[in-house]
Amino acid sequence: MQRRSFLKKAGAGAAIGALAAPAYAQGAPEVKWRLASSFPKSLDTLYGAAEVISKRVAAATNNKFQIQNFAAGEIVPAFGVVDAVQNGTVECCHTAPYYFFGKDPTFAFSCAIPFGMNCRQQNAWMYHGGGMQLMREFYKQYNIINFPAGNTGAQMGGFFRKELKTVNDMKGLKMRIGGFAGVVLQKLGLVPQQIPGGDIYPALEKGTIDAAEWVGPYDDEKLGLYKVAKYYYYPGWWEGGPEIDLFVNQKAWDALPKDYQAILEAAYPMPSG
Ligand code: CA
């Protein structure tokens, strides 16, 4: 304020704006991106993780690099986000990669595989064990560069409308289950259903499905699953530490200034759980 009043007195009002803003911000280009999430806004941790990214990126660039976030279904369906990034409809998305194991089972490796790694192990593999390099080679064919951006930690087994007493009770059961695990449970006669998080509750309530797993108590409560299915089982041995990823369109990434790239890369803190 002292500087402003000095300049005003000196009759240099026109120079105030230029002096108040740091030189960096003046030369920085404005970049506006759209991010399509696979999650509904009601999930403040999963949907919120992408908001952490966009807020940090904006704060670190004096609002020059803005990422507008959209919930599942707002501009892209929950399971359409990889196609949307691949073809450049949006610059980036935030999703659980194993949703796309039908395109190629390799997607599941940057998320979770049955009896796979916990959160720390997944991070260790991605950042220090060559996982990032392998996954980036894989994602190239989708015009995608991937960044780990969240991890739910170990998950629960799910909510069931009827009590399970023996493994035979799994036979014919229609269950919403994320990722590759459904392929394994099919061996027990279970009928896996791929349903986005925001659509699970009505399906379970109507009885279209008999069971559903989502994440764990915190997120499952937000979806209201306990209201329509009374039996909650664990462990979710198919999800020891599912990684959530930010997928960025390769051309959009290449077009970013180097400092924006570094800021985006550092925008999400590595989970340690
Ligand atoms: Ca899950």
Compute mean pLDDT per 10 residues along the chain, 273 residues long, and list them. 41 49 71 98 96 97 98 98 98 98 97 96 96 98 97 96 96 95 95 97 98 98 97 96 98 98 91 56
Model pLDDT, residue 20: 57
**Domains of the chain, residue spans:** 31-152+242-266, 158-233
Q: Which CATH superfamily is domain 31-152+242-266 in?
A: Bacterial extracellular solute-binding protein, family 7 (3.40.190.170)
Q: How far is the CA of 17 from the centre of ligand 1 (A)?
A: 50
Q: How far is the CA of 2 from the centre of ligand 1 (A)?
A: 55
- CA–CA separation, 147 vs 176, rounded Å? 26
Q: Which residues surround ligand 1, an ion (CB under 5 A)?
A: 155, 178, 213
Model pLDDT, residue 100: 98
- CA–CA separation, 164 vs 116, rounded Å? 25
Q: How far is the CA of 127 from the centre of ligand 1 (A)?
A: 23
- CA–CA separation, 216 vs 236, rounded Å? 9
Q: Which two tokens stand for residue 85?
A: 């990034």
The reply to whether 158-233 shares the fold of 31-152+242-266 is yes
Q: How far is the CA of 184 from the centre of ligand 1 (A)?
A: 14
Architecture category of domain 158-233 in CATH: 3-Layer(aba) Sandwich (3.40)
C-alpha closest to that of 144 among 67, 252, 264: 252
- Residue 209: Cβ-neighbour burial (10 angstroms; 0-12, 13-18, 19+): buried
